[in-house]
């Protein structure tokens, strides 16, 4: 990143699928190893919206809103549990171009809608990025149980308590960004997924297992500059 950023992540679904570690390893760049829980690597679809996205230090009212859809997995490097992003689909054309050119992140332009209706999030995303593989996702999701602190739950902690993100830039280099935020609060969640081609667009087979889902109302985040390994 050109400068550190501040933002809020809101109304997140963590839709999680087990994957054979050897399969995940084949999709990762050299230098990153799949992290596992209960013997499986995990692939997560994460719809949400960014709010108040701005350079660090600027007031919130100058920030922008940016609905987003991520495909991510969990990796380690030098013993540090981290996240690896396969793709980040986002609504804003200018933001996507800026993220790709200046931050070296695998952002794709998409038309995205997110609404909170009668206690459920209604989310739609259709990738429109020129030259990219199509990816279409539609779902509604909602919390179903009592909130809990992610660090107090082994699987919740595995999924979300990670403070370094890796991506592969267009030139093949590996980039990383560190993030700072309070511990996550999660809820058990249900999701009605009516359309999902995101996994297929990145070469993954259709999941055989039902996803394990969690919801979070979100938190505020500070993200560092992007760095190259």
| b (16+ CB within 10 A) / e for 181-212 | beebbbbebebebeebebbebeebeebeeebb
Beta-strand pair 107-117/80-90: parallel
| pLDDT band (50, 70, 90) for residue 1 | very low
State the pLDDT at residue 130.
78
| Across 65-69, 77-81, 99-103, 155-159, least confident range | 99-103
pLDDT one-digit tens code per residue, 85-103: 999 999 876 566 555 555 6
The per-residue pLDDT of the chain, averaged, comes to: 92
Domains of the chain: 5-228 (2.40.400.10)
Q: What's the pLDDT score for residue 198?
A: 95
Partners of 107 in beta bridges: 88
Of 5-14, 65-74, 128-137, 186-195, least confident by mean pLDDT is 128-137
Which H helix or E strand runs over 203?
none
Judged against a pLDDT cut of 70, whether residue 2 lies above it is answered with no
pLDDT of residue 21 exceeding 90, the answer is: yes
pLDDT tens by residue, 122-166: 999 999 987 778 899 999 999 999 999 999 999 999 999 999 999
User: Sign (positive/negative) of CA torsion 58, 149, 47, 34?
Assistant: positive
Confidence of residue 51 (pLDDT cuts 50, 70, 90): very high
Phi, psi at 65, each rounded to 5°: -100, 140
User: What is the arithmetic mean of pLDDT over 13-38?
Assistant: 97
Phi/psi of residue 102, nearest 5 degrees: -100, -25
Question: For residue 93, which of 113, 107, 74 has the smallest C-alpha distance?
Answer: 107
Give yes or no for residue 172 having a pLDDT over 90: no
Q: What is the pLDDT of residue 129?
A: 83
Q: Is the pTM of this model over 0.85?
A: yes
């Amino acid at each position: 990143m050109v400068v550190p950023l501040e933002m809020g992540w809101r109304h997140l679904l963590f839709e999680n699928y087990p994957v054979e570690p050897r399969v995940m390893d084949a999709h990762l760049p050299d230098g990153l190893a799949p992290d596992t829980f209960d013997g499986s690597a995990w692939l997560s679809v994460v719809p949400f919206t960014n709010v108040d996205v701005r350079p660090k230090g600027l007031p919130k009212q100058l920030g922008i809103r940016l609905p987003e859809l991520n495909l991510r997995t969990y990796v380690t490097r030098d013993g540090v549990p981290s996240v690896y992003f396969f793709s980040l689909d986002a609504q804003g054309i200018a933001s996507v171009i800026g993220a790709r050119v200046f931050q070296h992140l695998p952002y794709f332009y998409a038309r995205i809608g997110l609404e909170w209706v009668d206690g459920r999030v209604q989310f739609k995303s259709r990738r429109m990025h020129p030259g990219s593989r199509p990816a279409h996702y539609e779902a509604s999701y909602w919390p179903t149980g009592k909130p809990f602190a992610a660090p107090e739950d082994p699987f919740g902690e595995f999924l979300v308590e990670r403070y370094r993100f890796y991506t592969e830039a267009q030139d093949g280099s590996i980039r990383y960004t560190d993030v700072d935020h309070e511990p996550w609060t999660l809820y058990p969640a249900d999701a009605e997924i009516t359309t999902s081609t995101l996994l297929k667009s990145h070469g993954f087979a259709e999941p055989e297992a039902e996803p394990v889902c969690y919801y979070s109302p979100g938190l505020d985040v500070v993200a560092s500059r992007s760095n190259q390994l």
